[in-house]
Amino acid sequence: MVSIVSRVILTLFSPILYWVFFGIWFLSVTAFWSLLEGLFSFTKFLSVDLTNYLIFGKSISNTKSISIKDLPTFFISIAIFSMLMLVFIFSVILIKHATSTNKTEDKMPLKIAMKKSLPAIFIIVGIPILFLCVNLGLSLVIDLLSSSFLVPSIATNTKLTPLQSIFLSINGNASWVVNNFNNFQSYLGWYSAPPFDYYIASIWTTNALGLLFQMVNGLIMAIILLSFFVGISVDLFKLTLYQYFLFLSSPVVAISSISDDGRKLKNWKNSYFKTTFLVVIKVLMIMLYSVILKLIFDYVINGVALNNNNIFSESLLGFTSSLIYPFAALGTTYGFKAIGSKIDGYFGFGSFSAIKSIKSSVAKGTSALSAVKQGKLGATLATGGIGSLVAGVGVIHGLRKRSQNISALTSKGVDKKVAKNLLGKSDVMFNPQKQQEIVDNIKNSGIDLSKVNSKGSLETELFISKHFNQQKINSIQNSKEYKKGTASEETINELKEAINKQKATENAIKQLEENQKKIKTEQKKLNLAKGVNNVTK
């Protein structure tokens, strides 16, 4: 009697209950899986499809329709652009060289300069081919892996996305999921709740519990997948951004390397190959991760399903899979993250920042343009390079590092004016390496930086530190224990620390003295120039 009454109530209120169920499903399953699908689509577009569109005018989903005649389009365009750019820059160089008024500059024969530029020309022409081949190879591999997501029951045998395939597997290849994929074109439609008739059929049978397990399982799986996809998508975004930047800046790098025996080109090549390799690895990791999960889930479906005649089989399958699927996904996710971390650590990607790298490169480019404006470009490329083109390389980078080093000193107690004065000389201001040496020496000297409120007080503190460090070194070295070789490890460590402080102090004093000499020399030159001007007047 109770069962009949409950069924009547369920029947009467089923539309309302279904909409409640639909809303809960939307918030816990549809929203998360749609977010996942959008994240995956954006990542795939940025790392693969964008290049495919530029090359072939179509996305990777149409790889089969690519013909040989489509291949050269993008390559020829970029190659022509690169060669035109090269010709233009050489023309500018020759014109500036011919009109240069600097007669004292030593000039290498133009023939030798052109010979030195040949590697750069070959690199510029080869870059589009490399870019094309890598992306085409990646597209074909992804196309091959995607064939594992082909489901005959889906309309026109279209390939599912990796996420669609996983969603279909964790729901036991249910017909309502297949219908969603066939009937809807949007993410929200793909991952929407089971239809009303399926819901009614479930609550009228013992499968009502299985329906609940499906929803909970979908939520848990979405959270686990998000933990993997978000991290790898962020990495791919940074890598792809940097890869395109390297590609677009390659002609300038190739030309600027003529004067430095190819050092800049070598650095660019290492960065480009490392970035390209990591992009390929990350994309393949997404595909392999999805394939492995699908294989595991399909095995669970085939191995766990009970006898179809058993009235508890659906519910028990839902309960069992709700336990197995998350643990399988967690294990797979952990494994792939561990592999990814090892790869990142090997290639130094853990400390990689695309934004910082681009900022640094832009700063160098800005400095180079400044050199061009000053008319320094032409005379030097014809001498075998473009030393003057990169005469300002690192200027902006040096100023940025100066600001950071000033902050590092002031945070230790050094007066800001003193810090600016120490790092304000022309030979230091634009030289991050010298700046770092000064900062490190002052820090490692062991002086109380809070007492430094002027340059004079800094010198005083350094000389006092030098005196006390030397006393400590002499005291330890003259001790009986040290002479006999029986000094404790603590004493040896104290000696090493004192020696390191002494070296840092002496270097800091030396740098201050050199700066003082340069100031006096510059002042003498300035006074001499003023005297000449006065005589002329």
Transcribe 197-260 into DSSP letters.
HHHHHHHTSTTHHHHHHHHHHHHHHHHHHHHHHHHHHHHHHHHHHHHHHHHHHHHHHHHHGGGG
In terms of domains, do 300 and 241 share one?
A: yes
- State how many domains the chain has: 2
Residue 1 is assigned to a structural domain of this protein: no
How big is the CA angle at 385 (ends 384 and 386), to the nearest 5 degrees? 150
In terms of domains, do 356 and 400 share one?
A: no
Q: How far is 358 from 246, CA to CA, in rounded Å?
A: 9
In tens, the pLDDT along 327-347 reads: 777 888 888 788 877 777 666
Choose one of 317, 345, 360: the last residue of a domain.
360
What is the mean predicted confidence (pLDDT) over 5-17?
65
Helix (H, G, I), strand (E, B) or coil at 382: coil
How big is the CA angle at 232 (ends 231 and 234), to the nearest 5 degrees? 70
Are 64 and 349 in contact by the 8 Å Cβ rule? The answer is: no
Residue 157's pLDDT band (boundaries 50, 70, 90)? low
Residue 4 is assigned to a structural domain of this protein: no
In terms of domains, do 41 and 159 share one?
A: yes
Residue 14 is assigned to a structural domain of this protein: no
Find residue 22's DSSP bridge partners. none
What is the model's pTM? Answer: 0.53
Q: Does the structure show a pLDDT above 80 at 418?
A: no
Are 243 and 276 in contact by the 8 Å Cβ rule? The answer is: yes
Q: What pLDDT sits at residue 302?
A: 60
Q: What pLDDT sits at residue 304?
A: 47
Q: What pLDDT sits at residue 158?
A: 61
Q: Which domain holds residue 489?
A: 394-536
In terms of domains, do 340 and 202 share one?
A: yes
- Contacts for 263 with CB less than 8 Å, ≥ 6 apart: 257
In tens, the pLDDT along 260-272 reads: 556 676 777 777 7
Q: Which one is predicted more confidently, 96 or 123? A: 123
In terms of domains, do 338 and 411 share one?
A: no
In tens, the pLDDT along 165-175 reads: 788 777 777 77
In tens, the pLDDT along 474-494 reads: 888 888 777 777 778 788 888
